[in-house]
Amino acid sequence: MSERLTAGATAPEFTLKNAEGQDVSLRDFRGRNTVIYFYPAASTPGCTKQACDFRDSLGALQAAGYDVVGISPDPVSKLAAFAAAEGLTFPLLSDEDHSVAEAYAAWGEKKNYGKTYQGLIRSTIVVDADGQVAVAQYNVRATGHVAKLRRDLKLDA
């Protein structure tokens, strides 16, 4: 597992396929703040809740200068179905080999019901307009995370 990112670090560059099969790169967001959130699996209860929270906050986030990108190890076809089913209008990116999750330290050892395995660690990284990490949060909860992130970014009055 990579070392966890901290504020001030340079965000690792990436290019991944979105739900439409088009390439999306971190550099596409240069000049704006970008919320990159890593989630384990599309269409599962927790991931759906988190994605819908981002969807519902998207206007306020964009008005404050933040774009949102979701990354999971799901294939493009599953992301397309998830986006359509939930009305998600921000990019969902496919990281099937989890190389980007590894670069962002969002892939590693997890424990569930006494079993240890390698998997995606629910994480959110905010990258500033210059490509530097502004906020790095690991092991976040699906429920309530977007509200907490908005408070941390001082977007709620």
CATH architecture classification, 15-152:
3-Layer(aba) Sandwich (3.40)
Query: Quick one: which of 119, 84, 92 has its CA closest to 36?
Result: 92
Question: Where in the chain are the domains?
Answer: 15-152
Tell me if residue 47 is catalytic: yes
pLDDT digits (tens, 9 = 90+) for 31-53: 999 999 999 999 999 999 999 99
**Could you tell me if 140 and 123 are in contact, meaning their C-beta atoms sit under 8 angstroms apart?**
yes
CB contact burial 63-78 (16+ within 10 A = b; e otherwise):
eeebbbbbbbbbebeb
pLDDT of residue 156: 72
pLDDT digits (tens, 9 = 90+) for 80-106: 999 999 999 999 999 999 999 999 999
Mean pLDDT of the chain: 95
**Using alpha carbons only, what angle is made at residue 70 by residues 65 and 75, rounded to the nearest 5 degrees?**
150
Which one of 47, 79, 142, 149 is the catalytic residue? 47
Instruction: Record the tokens describing residue 82, joined without a space.
Output: 């998830």
DSSP for residue 10: B
Location of structure tokens 């390698």:
118
Alpha carbons 124 and 146: distance in angstroms, whole number: 10
